[in-house]
Amino acid sequence: MPDAPLKVLIVDDEAPARHRLREVLDDCNSAVPLLVVGEAASGQEALTLLSTTLADLVLTDIHMPDMDGIELARHLLKLPTPPVLIFTTAYHEHAIAAFEVHAIDYLVKPVRVQRLLAALDKVPRLRPLSDAKLNRLPSSARRFLSVTERSRVVLVPIDEVVYLKAELKYITIRTADREYLLEESLTKLEEEFGPRFVRIHRNCLVARSAIRGFERRVSADGDAHWEVLLRGVPEALAVSRRQQFIVREIGRDAST
């Protein structure tokens, strides 16, 4: 479809920056037919918008409160047809060095028409950034986990996660309200979130803040093991023999 205008979504936490980008996009319109399908002031807002609106290109600021541009890029990959993404930034920070190394496109604000045009020209040939590539960018731990449900991206704030349990192909995310299925690796999650979670079993990470206490259980065949009691969810989780040391390590703090 050579004639269909390029659908663009603008993401920036600063209103003037969004406004300016829209003006420059307007200037490009005669050379590259495009349509701004929306503006979002945050990553969350962008994802909500994209659940109902299609976009070919997302222009996102790197530094934003709550969810930065790099985290947004990761969540966008969970969409059925991920848009192409170009980062914008007001200043060459250290992070930008990594962008250069991995040949990831970015625009420096204030954005010039010529520079934007060049970037827009490339869009049809660009593919969404791969997860592997994004992983190489310097970024802090995500604030949200994201899962795809009925072709929409649902965000689960990491603060609400009670435990993560690996089951066959998926990881179950348990919050106080419900469960979600996530397609990621438990080891990678453990690395990313570090001390927030504690491994109680080969297949299970529990949020340290959700641990209410430990209880010793004797099963029918006489084997005794420890179980973790959790805040907000009724089920208790078994601590494997190998991870038993954590009972002593945090058991006392939790029970007091």
Q: Which is nearer to other proteins, 96 or 126 (CB)?
A: 96
Instruction: For residue 90, state whether it binds other proteins (rule: CB under 8 A).
Output: yes
Least distance in Å: CB of 36 to other proteins?
15
Selected from 8, 10, 11, 13, the binder of other proteins by CB under 8 A is 13
Q: Which is nearer to other proteins, 63 or 208 (CB)?
A: 63
Residue type, 149: E
Least distance in Å: CB of 203 to other proteins?
28
Q: Which is nearer to other proteins, 42 or 240 (CB)?
A: 42
Instruction: For residue 15, state whether it binds other proteins (rule: CB under 8 A).
Output: yes
Piece of 10-18, 176-184, 186-194, 207-215 that binds other proteins (CB under 8 A): 10-18
Tell the burial category of 41 from Cβ atoms under 10 Å away from its Cβ (0-12, 13-18, 19+). Answer: middle
Q: Going by C-beta distance under 8 Å and a sequence separation of 6 or more, which residues neighbour residue 2?
A: none
Q: Which is nearer to other proteins, 27 or 227 (CB)?
A: 27
Instruction: For residue 91, state whether it binds other proteins (rule: CB under 8 A).
Output: yes
Least distance in Å: CB of 91 to other proteins?
5
Instruction: For residue 65, state whether it binds other proteins (rule: CB under 8 A).
Output: yes
Q: Which is nearer to other proteins, 41 or 126 (CB)?
A: 41
Q: Which is nearer to other proteins, 48 or 148 (CB)?
A: 48
Instruction: For residue 20, state whether it binds other proteins (rule: CB under 8 A).
Output: yes
Q: Which is nearer to other proteins, 20 or 208 (CB)?
A: 20
User: Under rule CB under 8 A, which residues in 40-59 are in contact with other proteins?
Assistant: 41-42
Instruction: For residue 19, state whether it binds other proteins (rule: CB under 8 A).
Output: yes
b/e for 123-146, b at 16 or more Cβ within 10 A?
beeeebbeeeebeebebeebbbbb
Residues near other proteins (CB under 8 A) are 13-17, 19-20, 23, 41-42, 63, 65-66, 90-91, 93, 108-110, 140
